[in-house]
Amino acid sequence: MNSPLKIGIAGLGTIGGGTFKLLTEQAEIIERRSGRAVRLVAVAEPDASRMKEAEKNGIRCYADALPMAADDDVDVVVELIGGSEGIAKKLCETAITNSKHVVTANKALIAHHGTALARAAEAQGVTFAFEAAVAGGIPIIKSLREGLAGNRLGRVYGILNGTCNYILSAMSEQGRDFEDVLKECQDLGFAEADPSFDVDGIDTAHKLAILASVAFGGEVNFDAVHIEGIRHVSLMDMQFASELGYSIKLLGVASVREDGLEQRVHPCMVPSSSPIAHVLGSLNAVVADGDFCDTIVHEGHGAGAGPTSSAVAADLIDIARGLKVPTFGVPASELKSIPPVPMERHRGAYYIRLMVVDRPGVFADIAAVLRDHAVSMESVLQRTRDPGEPVPVVMTMHETEEAGMIRALEEIAAVEAVVEPPRMIRIEAL
């Protein structure tokens, strides 16, 4: 009979507490599916009040996680502390040095140090697994790495942050302003007191960098991700988007081009008829385009104790089974350095909103600037207001290179009749 796989959890916060609960309550089903017992033998947590249940069940308790990583009776260290540096990074390095498998939900750590940690684990002959780091309960890492392994993937994109999707969904469906919905998210506990990582796109960028590495076999390159958040998306933009047949979503998009890898996070106008436009509330969705599988859509809960601990358990069961799969789909030593494509070389269609003083000649001036930068208009919407008040002018542009679009907007912003900075949202062809 196989000996038990012995687990040590570092961090008993929301995800750590959920993992503790799952391993305790689902022990029988996990053993049946693993072919051996998966036993929680140690926890590490500086807050003593969180360790009472562990103490009651005879589980060894550490106030400091590093000694647990050297405990001879621990086979797998589950890092659920968080943060890209400090104790989380040191814990994973120590565990790998001591020939222990590592399972983590820490997307920031992987986005910044995933390649180095995977190479260290490979050299030591242990597993470094992170299904829980991207899209919570959606098994997207396993899907890209194993289920779609026979495909050449061209693009991976998705809604990777539930807080942003909740905010944008509420703005669209309820006609509410960004700040109003953000405050509600904070009151409900969906968003932190400082929501920057979520609403400024950083959390999505961490996850996108990981997905791109798994999908395309390249080194994790977070620094190459273009990042924009949703603070500038207004209710007016939402209303115009609906009128034009679009919904606004914060997407992370990674695609392979002839000249390299494009990784970008920003608000997108997506066709209202597309599947991703109907992913509402705090749900996540990830879409992969492959040459043989065509388009595959994954949707589900991307955060929270239950979905994330479910993903942690999946990695533990793989380790218990003895399943060995390269961390990023290919051996870490073979990960390529793929040239990044700068955002100014992105090609796409655009939504532009201007607030202008309605007087003769203004539109001709704007059109001349667009012509000079080889930007072609597709459609124009204009609203009337009381005489003398600025009016919104909305234009959609045919596909063009971003560098030309940005230069045109810089010149348009200097036109005297344009009274607010131009608003630009990219239109995504799905």
220-232 pLDDT tens trace: 999 999 999 999 9
Evaluate if residue 291 carries a pLDDT over 60: yes
Per-residue pLDDT tens over the stretch 122-142: 999 999 999 999 998 899 999
φ, ψ of residue 172 in degrees (nearest 5):
-70, -45
Give the chain's domains with CATH numbers: 5-137+309-330 (3.40.50.720), 140-301 (3.30.360.10), 347-427 (3.30.70.260)
CA 407 to chain centre: 29
Burial 145-175 (b: 16+ CB within 10 A, else e): beebeebebebbbbbbbbbbbbbbbbbbeee
What's the mean per-residue pLDDT of the chain?
94
pLDDT of residue 388: 66
pTM of the model: 0.94
pLDDT of residue 106: 96
pLDDT of residue 57: 85
Evaluate if residue 40 carries a pLDDT over 70: yes
Coil, helix or strand at residue 44: strand
Asked if residues 395 and 405 have their Cβ atoms less than 8 Å apart, the reply is no
pLDDT of residue 77: 98
Residue 21, both tokens: 């609960």
pLDDT of residue 1: 47
Evaluate if residue 35 carries a pLDDT over 50: yes
**Selected residue with higher pLDDT from 136 and 165:** 165
pLDDT of residue 199: 96
pLDDT of residue 216: 96
| Percent of residues, the chain, with pLDDT higher than 70 | 99
Q: Point out the least confidently predicted range of 52-66, 110-124, 127-141, 247-261.
A: 52-66
Closest by CA to 135, choosing from 311, 326, 266, 319, is 311
Residue 97's pLDDT band (boundaries 50, 70, 90)? Answer: very high
Evaluate if residue 289 carries a pLDDT over 80: yes
CA 43 to chain centre: 28
Q: How far apart are CA 229 and CA 48, in angstroms?
A: 37
User: Rounded mean pLDDT of 62-70?
Assistant: 94
pLDDT of residue 303: 87
Q: How far apart are CA 147 and CA 309, in angstroms?
A: 21
What are the E-state strand segments in 46-105?
A: 60-62, 76-79, 101-104
Q: How far apart are CA 132 and CA 18, in angstroms?
A: 12
Instruction: Indicate the burial class of 376 (C-beta count within 10 angstroms; 0-12, 13-18, 19 or more).
Output: exposed
Residue 85, CA atoms < 13 Å, CB-side half-sphere: 0
Coil, helix or strand at residue 49: helix
> Catalytic positions, please?
207
Q: Long-range contacts made by residues 183-190, C-beta under 8 angstroms, separation at least 24? A: 190/162, 190/163, 190/166, 190/282
Q: How far apart are CA 363 and CA 378, in angstroms?
A: 15
pLDDT of residue 406: 96
Q: Which amino acid is at 281?
A: G
Per-residue pLDDT tens over the stretch 302-361: 888 999 999 999 999 999 999 999 999 999 999 999 999 999 999 999 999 999 987 778
User: Rounded mean pLDDT of 17-46?
Assistant: 94
Q: Which amino acid is at 309?
A: S
Residue 53's pLDDT band (boundaries 50, 70, 90)? Answer: confident
User: Rounded mean pLDDT of 22-44?
Assistant: 94
pLDDT of residue 192: 81
Asked if residues 140 and 298 have their Cβ atoms less than 8 Å apart, the reply is yes
